[in-house]
Structure 1
C-alpha cells in the first residue's frame, strides 16, 4: 500500500510538473528582438502604399504615397564630440534610436529578361548569408557589408555568395538584359535636389555610370569634414545634435549640404560639443545616374510621404536602365524604408505587372502634355510586407515545402498573401526556437498522457485491492 501511494504521489508530481512546464513554454513566446543576432521585428508587419503610373510619348511617371509617423531626413552625419569629429554612418539593428536614418523608396524594374522576377519579385535577389542576416558562421561577419543583392544565374553555387561566375558569363548575361533596373529615392541624399539615384542589380548591386547625387564629406586623412555650411548663404556653420535627434529642423534651416551652399571646412573655428555637419555633400548627378528626377518635390505631410519620380522611356543607357516602350509590359517591385531603419529592415511588395497601352495586371494611364491630371489616373493600393531573412537558396531548397511549386514556375501571389509572407519571414528568424519549443511541447504532451495513464492505473489498482 505504501509503495502504491508513493508511486501515485510521484506520478502526480510528474503530472503537475509537466503541466507547469507546458504552461511556461506556451506562455513565453519565442519572438523577441535580439540585436546581437541581427534580429529586430517591426511592430507592423505590413504597410499600405498607393501607386499611380502615367506616361506620354517620351516619359513615364510613378507616384507613390505611403504612411510614416514622422519624416526621417538624416543619414551619415559627422558629429563633434569628446573633442574630435566622428562619423555616424552605420545604422543599428532595427530603428535608429535617434532617428538618424533617412526614409527611402526603391523600385526594381524589368522588361521580362529576368523571368523569375515576374513570378517572385525581390526574393530572387536575396542570396545566401546576406549582410545583416543572423550569422551562423562567425567568419562571415568579417566582410558582412559587402554581401549584397545579386541575381541567381550569376552564381555557380546557390549556397555560396562568393561563387561568382566567370567574367565572360557575366558579360553575356548582362548583354542579354539579365539585370534589374533599380530606382532609389532618398529623403536626404537625393530628394532635396530633385533627384533619385539610379542603380542596377546583376552579379552585384551596382551604381549606374556617371557621378551620383552625393559625395563624401569626410577627410579621412585629417579626420574632419571637408566642407561646412557657408554662414553667409545659410546663416549657420553647422547643425546641433539635439536639434537633429529631436527632429527640430524646418525649411528655414537646411538639413542637407549642397556644393553651392558649402565652403571649405574651418579647422581653426572653436567647434562646440554636439556640433553636426552632414557626412555627404549633394551635387548634380551626371550620366546614367542622372536619369531619374523628382517631379515637383517629395513631400511629407499629414503622416504620409508623397513622391513622384519621372524618367525618359529611353534613357540611352540600355545596359544600365530598362528601356521602356509603348505597347510594352514591364514588372516592378517596390520597397520602402521608414521609422529610421536601413538595410534589410524594410517593407517590400510582390511583383506587379504594368502594361503601357497593353492588357496587363495593371494598365498605366496615357496622357498628353507635360504632366498628367493625377485625379484621372487610376490608384492602385499595394500591401508591402516585412520579408524577414528569407533567401532565394532557401526557397528553392528541399527545406521549403513550396520549392516544387517554384520549380514549376507557380507565381508567389497565386499561393500566398502579403500577411502570410510576413509571418513566414518572422518564423524563419526564430525557426530554431520554434522547433525547440515544438519538441518540448511534444515531449511534455507524451509525459502528460503517460502520467495520466499511470495515475488512473494506480487508482484503479488501489480500488480493486
Structure 2
C-alpha cells in the first residue's frame, strides 16, 4: 500500500514539476488580431519639438525617426476585372505598407485642466475604435447625438464631461450642454498632418475633440475616389500630368519605387474622370483618396516649406495664425500665454491606436514653460534654439475610465490631481500599456503557475512523509 502511495505521490510530484516548468515564464504577450492586439517591437520613440512665433503666426517643427517614408494610404487595385480596396486598417502594421505616416498634436489653453496633468489619456474613453471591446460602427451611426447629429461613424476620442457617465461612450450629455462646454473652451485643438492625405497639398487637418473627434468648419482636403453605382474609381491620373500613366503599378508601390519627388498622390489638378475603356491591366492601382484644396476653418494649418523624409528622419513644420478667429474650434494663442500640448506619431504603416504618444508639455510664449517659443521677426524663424527632446511611448489599451476607476491603484492620486509624470516615466507607461492588453492572460498564467507550485509542494510533502514513514517502519 505504501509503495503504491509513494509511486502515486511521486507521479503527482513529477507531473506538478513538469507543469510548473512548462507554465512558469511562458510568454503571454503575443499578437492577437481577433482581439485587436498588435504590440510594436519598439515601445518608445524620440521626437524633437521646436516652437516659434512672430506675433501673428506660430510654427511647430517636429522631427522623428522612421525606417522608411510612409507616403501612401489605401488604394484601389484592378484584379480579375474588378476594382478592389487594398490597404484597409488592421491591428499594427498594414501588410502592404499602405498606411501613411502622421504627426498630430493636441493643444489646450488650460480650459481642460486634466489634460495638462494627464495628456491624451483624458480623451481616451470607453470602447473606442481599435480596443478589444470597441463599439460597433452601427451603434455609433444610429446614436442620436454621435451619429445622427455629429456625423460620426466610429467610436472616437471624447472628453469626460461630455458624458453623464464617462465610462459609457453612449451616455452623451444633451446638445445644449455640449454647446455650453464648448463655448467655455472645454475642447482640445487637434492638429493632424498626414503624409498621404494632406501633405501633397501643403496642409494639415484642423480638428478638435469634445463629444467626439470633430473637424473644423469647412471642406476637408480629401474625399473618397469611388464611383459607387459602377463599383470603380471616380477619377484616374491624367497621363499628361503624371508621366504618361493613368495608374500606379502595384509592384512599384509595394517595392518603394515611387518616391516623394514623383507624382505620388491623386489630386483634382492631376486627374481626369475615370475611363472604363482604358486598357486596364491586373495590378493597375489608383489612390482611393482624391486630394483637393481645403476651405474654411479646416484649412487653417499649413505646411511650412516642404515636409520631407531623409536619412531615416521626418522633418515637418506646421504653421497657423495665432488667432484664427474661431475660438470655439481652435485654441487662440497669445503672447505671454502658457499652453499645454501632447504629441503623437504614426509610422511603419500603422493606423488608429497603434501609435506613439507623449505626456503633456507646457509651451510658453514669453513665459517659463517646458518648451519656449522663440520670438522672431519677419516671415520665417532660423530655428537656432535647441530642440526639446520628447519621449513618445506606446499606450496600449489604457483609457480614462480605467485610470480613475477601482482597478487602478493610483486612482486616488489622479482624483487628487497629481500629474502623471510625477508618478510614472514614459518607459513605465509603455510597459503598463502592454500589461493591460494582456491583463487577463497574465493573471490566468499567474494562477496556473501558483496552482502548479502548490501541487509541487504538496506532492513533495506527501512523498517525503511516505518515505520517512517507510524507513521508520511506521
Q: What's the TM-score, normalizing by structure 1?
A: 0.96
Number of the residue aligned with 1:247: 256
Number of the residue aligned with 1:295: 304
Runs of 4+ aligned residues of structure 1 deviating over 2 Å after TM superposition are 86-90, 139-145, 250-253
Q: Distance in 2 between matches of 1:360 and 1:51?
A: 13
Equivalent residues of 1:215, 1:281 under 8 A apart: yes
Secondary structure class of the residue paired with 2:463:
helix
Equivalent residues of 1:227, 1:264 under 8 A apart: yes
Which runs of 5 or more structure 2 residues have no equivalent in the other structure? 141-152
Task: Quote the offset at 1:140 in angstroms.
Answer: 4.2
Q: Distance in 1 between matches of 2:23 and 2:136?
A: 33
Q: Distance in 2 between matches of 1:93 and 1:75?
A: 15
Q: Distance in 1 between matches of 2:254 and 2:184?
A: 47
Equivalent residues of 1:217, 1:280 under 8 A apart: yes
Q: Distance in 1 between matches of 2:201 and 2:167?
A: 41
Q: Distance in 2 between matches of 1:295 and 1:356?
A: 20
Q: Distance in 1 between matches of 2:101 and 2:130?
A: 19
Number of the residue aligned with 1:283: 292
Number of the residue aligned with 1:193: 201
Number of the residue aligned with 2:145: none
Equivalent residues of 1:117, 1:351 under 8 A apart: yes
Q: Distance in 2 between matches of 1:140 and 1:403?
A: 29
Task: Provide the aligned C-alpha RMSD in A.
Answer: 1.5
Say whether 1:386 aligns with 2:394.
Answer: yes
Equivalent residues of 1:199, 1:205 under 8 A apart: yes
Q: Distance in 2 between matches of 1:90 and 1:142?
A: 18
Match for 2:410 among 402, 414, 424?
402
Post-superposition CA distance 1:146-194 (Å, at most 9, x none): 1111100000112211110001110100000000000000001111121
Equivalent residues of 1:98, 1:246 under 8 A apart: no
Which runs of 5 or more structure 1 residues have no equivalent in the other structure? none
Match for 1:117 among 115, 118, 134?
115
Say whether 1:232 aligns with 2:240.
Answer: yes
Number of the residue aligned with 1:82: 80
Post-superposition CA distance 1:296-344 (Å, at most 9, x none): 1110111111111111110111111100001100000000010101011
Number of the residue aligned with 1:69: 67
Equivalent residues of 2:137, 2:154 under 8 A apart: no
Q: Distance in 2 between matches of 1:304 and 1:80?
A: 33
Task: Quote the offset at 1:143 in angstroms.
Answer: 4.7
Number of the residue aligned with 1:359: 368
Q: Distance in 1 between matches of 2:193 and 2:374?
A: 23
Higher helix share: 1
Secondary structure class of the residue paired with 1:147:
coil
Task: Label 1:400 to 1:72 Cα distance change in 2 as closer, same or farther (>3 A).
Answer: same
Q: Distance in 2 between matches of 1:140 and 1:207?
A: 21
Post-superposition CA distance 1:413-444 (Å, at most 9, x none): 10001111111111111111111111112212
Aligned residues: 460
Q: Distance in 2 between matches of 1:273 and 1:231?
A: 18
Q: What's the TM-score, normalizing by structure 2?
A: 0.94
Task: Label 1:251 to 1:344 Cα distance change in 2 as closer, same or farther (>3 A).
Answer: closer
Q: Distance in 2 between matches of 1:401 and 1:421?
A: 14
Q: Distance in 2 between matches of 1:362 and 1:273?
A: 52
